[in-house]
Structure formats: C-alpha cells, structure tokens
Structure 1
Amino acid sequence: MQFAVIGNPIHHSLSPILHNSAFKSLGVVGFYSRYLLENPENFSSLKNLHLTGANITVPFKEIAFKSCNEVFGIAQEIGAVNTLVFEKEKILGYNTDALGFYQCIESLNPKNTLIIGAGGSAKALACILKAKGISTTILNRSQSRLESFIALGFHTATFENFTPKECFDLIINTTPAGLTNDSLPLDSTLLAPLLDSTKFAFDLVYGRETPFLTLAKSLNIPHSDGKQMLINQAILAFEIFMESQKIPINKTILRQSMQTAL
C-alpha cells in the first residue's frame, strides 16, 4: 500500500515519519511519502499515482474537498478535507484536523477564541469549536475569504476593520506566516495587545518557533506549535486508512508509535 502527503510546500512535512513509524510498529506492509503538487488544476491527476490514501495540506484542502465523490462527517460542513481514501474510481474525503486540534485544547476549556486566517484549516478549527459551543471570531486580511464563515454564522472581521471588544481565551494562527519566512500573521501593533490579554496562543505551524510564538513567548503567554495536532490528526487518518482496507490494528501501539516518532 502506498500513501502520501500532498501540498505545496511539502518538504517540511513530518507526516511520513509518523505514518512509516506506525507501519513498522504495527507490522503492516505500507509506505508513506511526500508529493509536491505544483498546479492545483492537476489535482485530479493524483488518481494516476495509484495511492491507497493521502493526506492533504496547504493550500489544497478545499480543492481536495471539491474533488471528492463522497465526503464524511464534519468535513461536509467544513468544506475542506485533509484525508483521502482512493476506492476504485471514487475519492472519499474526511477531515481529521478538526478533532485532532480539539484534542489539543480541550483541557483549556476556552470560552471564546480568535482564529487568524480563513483557509481550509481555519474552517476545520472554527467548525469543531462551534460544535463544542465555543464562541469563535475569524480575522482575515481579505473580506472575500470570510464570506463562507459569515454564512455559517461566525463573527468575522478584516485586518482593517477589526476593533476587539473582548479578550480572547485562545488565539490561533492558521496562516502559513512563519512557515517559510519570518513574518507575523498580523501587524505587531495589533497582534501584541491581543496576545498580551489571551490565556493561550496556538500556531498550526510546527517544526520551528514562528514569530507568532516568539511574540507570545516574549509576553509570557502559554503557547504551543502544531506538533501535537499533527500527531493527533495523523493517528485519526491512519485509523481511517486501515479501516478502509479492513486491516485490524492495535490502537494503543498506533498511538505510542506516533507519539514517540518525533
């Protein structure tokens, strides 16, 4: 069985380490690699790779959703998928980002959150927070990306018209700012006061301390990168992959193998 994580950029992804560790620990014959998709218009060409399944990362989660023949669970509301199963001529879509993220912050018991960014990952987080009864505001550079959030009933604002009227228990950066450069997702004059009044800062980027996390650290705000979310969503995706192939696995070994792989 062949699996891959698909995105652009993709060289930084640690998903192959997680999944290949699980294959080895569980004694399952399979291999997981990276695939750089340079042109989103060629998304349908993934069928030619003869993959059993795949994970989708930025910026293709919404395109992947539209390419699916069937979509399951909360992914239907999110409109973005990060896990695909290739079944004969069909592409089946799932979203494990949502639950994987929530498992990271559940113990914080936040009452309200601010999400910076309005892409597929932001939609996943917003929808799971909404499902858990947590008030959520979406902040994004452009208005057009916010329209789908407005349709779902979320509070939204652009950088230009944002006037915070409350402190947020949790602030989440879902943008790629800091992934390949040293930029902040929001101008420091606005971001610093927001972080200074929050209880926790979370960045989906993993593998490096982003400027967003550096700023939170300088303000003595508890913070986390996206490493544990990566592990959580990978465990959930691996379970979907194996279930699709009707391969029984020991979930305790699966969790232990991925948790200790990085």
Structure 2
Amino acid sequence: MVRRCAVIGSPIAHSLSPLLHRTAYAELGIADEYQYDAFEVTPDTLDEFVAGLGSEWVGLSVTAPDKQALLCHGVADPLAEALRSANTLILGRDGEPNRVYNTDIVGFGAALARQGVRTARTAVLVGNGATARTALLGLARLGVDDAVVLARDESRARASLDPIAGPAGVRLRVQPFGSAPELPEEWNGHADLLVSTVPVEVPDNLASALVQKVSAVFEATYNHYPTAIDRAAARAGLVSVDGLDFLVGQALDQIRLMTGRQADPGPLLAACRAEIARRQPSA
C-alpha cells in the first residue's frame, strides 16, 4: 500500500511543499512508497477532512490558516503548545493518538546551524506576527536573552510576543518600524543576529541600515525573493539565511516525522530555488 501525505491550507496552489517532499522521496529512494499531494482546506473544513483520512494516510503538512485549529486534532508537542500553532499532523496507529508538531522551530535552528550560527545573545526582530513568534522562540533556544523588536504598534507587538518572551526569559525592547533601531548602550552598537519576518518588502535604505548593525542575517520570508535584506546582507558579506533555507529546514523535520528518514537539504534547496526562479517574471 502506498503511504499518503499532503499539505493542506488555503490558498494552497502556491505551496512548495509538494516539490520539497517529492524531491526528498526521490533522493531517499522511496518515491514508489510515498505519495504527497496538496488540498485546499480551511479551518471550517478541517474536521471533516481529517475525519475522512483512511488507513493509508501517514501525516499532513499544515499551513495558514489551519495551524491553530490543528491543535484540536492530536496531542501537541511542547513547541506547538508554547506557540499555540502546529504545522504537522502525524496520524496515530493501533490505538495511539494523533500527534501534532511545530517543526518551524527546528527548521529555524537547523537553517542557521547550516551557516555556522549556533548561538547568539542579542537580536533585532522585525515584525510581530505568527512568524515573529516562531522566530522569537527560536532565538531563545539559541541563547538570545535581549531583543529589539521593530513593530508598527507596540501594544499589538506586546500582546503577540510577550507570552513567548516571558517564559523564555527574553527581554523585549519595542521600537517603531521604519527606521534603523537604536541599540542598547550595553550592546556596543551591535547585535548578533537580525531576523526579519515581515511579508512586505523592506525599503533598500532601511535594509542597508539594518544589516550594518548585525553579524548575521535571517530573512525568514521568501516573498519577493531575493529580498532587499537578502541583497543588503550579500553586499555586506554577512552570514545570511533566507526564507527558502527556513522552508527547507521545517520540511526536513516533517519528512523525518512522516518517513523516519533524514533527507539531505542540498537537493531540496536546489529544487526550491529553481522553482522560485521559474516563477519570477522575465525581465
């Protein structure tokens, strides 16, 4: 019996997950054992979709807007519980319960580790949404205990990020988005890491100003890839991790959970970058 997996969310047509998982299956020599598809599923239809999965199903990758609703469909791992967001469902067998995971945190750390970044103490975090919450917990796991957050609305930023920062022991200093941050005096004008999580393109002048204040850069999104921050980091010769590194990182842990095998990130990154290049309009 072919084992089935899929990505669900809405909209789903743009998802790179089928490409990543199918590439991994081919590299691992299990393409005839596993099938990976994509389905349009919203929180309103999630219960019905999961209930209809047969015995051939192994698991699901889950993207927006279903990540919070997924928590009701299994026992959550500590990371998913802390973030109140899950991106992976592994179906229980032989009376075992379903399990839900958040592999974004593992992907965050793995993407940085592949570029030699394994620890940090100070960080600048751009944004305060769901990706910023994930990044903040990832930063805490790296050792960050002091962070400047650039956000348009301090009260919203606090409401989103304080529940993560408090238990993780990270001090947050919220500053307005749109200009280079004023770093705390004790940082000596320098932060270990910049993480940008905003889906909109950052102006070139702001991107340049941001990268001048840090040792390494993580552009967590791949909207407008390569972004202004990606380009500024390259010009400055900084260690740089981009949104495709992040995407592959979280997919690798999903593949491990679904197949029990560890895929090589190289072919997945190559396939991902080739597909993004193909999708970009010709000059």
TM-score bracket for the superposition, by shorter chain length: 0.7 to 0.9
Give the structure 1 partner of residue 162 of structure 2.
150
Is the contact made by 1:146 and 1:156 (CA closer than 8 Å) also made in structure 2?
A: no
Selected match of 1:55 from 34, 37, 61: 61
Give the structure 2 partner of residue 246 of structure 1.
none
Matched, 1:231 2:231: no
Give the structure 1 partner of residue 198 of structure 2.
175
Secondary structure in 2 matching 1:3: strand
Please say which structure displays the higher CA radius of gyration: 2
Selected match of 2:35 from 31, 44, 52: 31
Secondary structure in 1 matching 2:68: helix
Q: Distance in 2 between matches of 1:7 and 1:140?
A: 27
Structure 2 length normalisation: TM-score? 0.71
Deviation at residue 203 of structure 1 after TM alignment: 1.4
* Percent identity over paired residues: 22
Q: Distance in 2 between matches of 1:111 and 1:140?
A: 20
Matched, 1:7 2:14: no
Give the structure 2 partner of residue 72 of structure 1.
77
**What are structure 1's unaligned runs of at least 5 residues?**
178-182, 244-248
Is the contact made by 2:109 and 2:142 (CA closer than 8 Å) also made in structure 1?
A: no
Q: What are the equivalent positions in structure 2 for 1:99-178 lying under 5 Å apart?
A: 99-106=106-113, 107-108=116-117, 109-135=119-145, 136-142=147-153, 143-151=155-163, 152-153=165-166, 154=170, 155-157=172-174, 159=176, 164-166=182-184, 167-177=190-200
Give the structure 1 partner of residue 214 of structure 2.
198
- Tell me the matched-pair count: 245
Deviation at residue 195 of structure 1 after TM alignment: 2.3
Q: Which amino acid aligns with 1:54?
A: L
Give the structure 1 partner of residue 92 of structure 2.
87
Structure 1 length normalisation: TM-score? 0.76
Secondary structure in 2 matching 1:238: helix
Deviation at residue 259 of structure 1 after TM alignment: 5.8
Which contiguous aligned blocks of 4+ residues in structure 1 show a shift greater than 6 angstroms? none
Q: Distance in 2 between matches of 1:259 and 1:160?
A: 31
Deviation at residue 40 of structure 1 after TM alignment: 3.6
Q: Which amino acid aligns with 1:150?
A: D
- C-alpha distance 223-8 of structure 1, shift in aligned 2 (>3 A): farther
Deviation string, structure 1 residues 84-109 (Cα, Å, up to 9, x no partner): 12337954211111121112223233
- C-alpha distance 115-168 of structure 1, shift in aligned 2 (>3 A): same
**What are structure 2's unaligned runs of at least 5 residues?**
185-189, 273-283
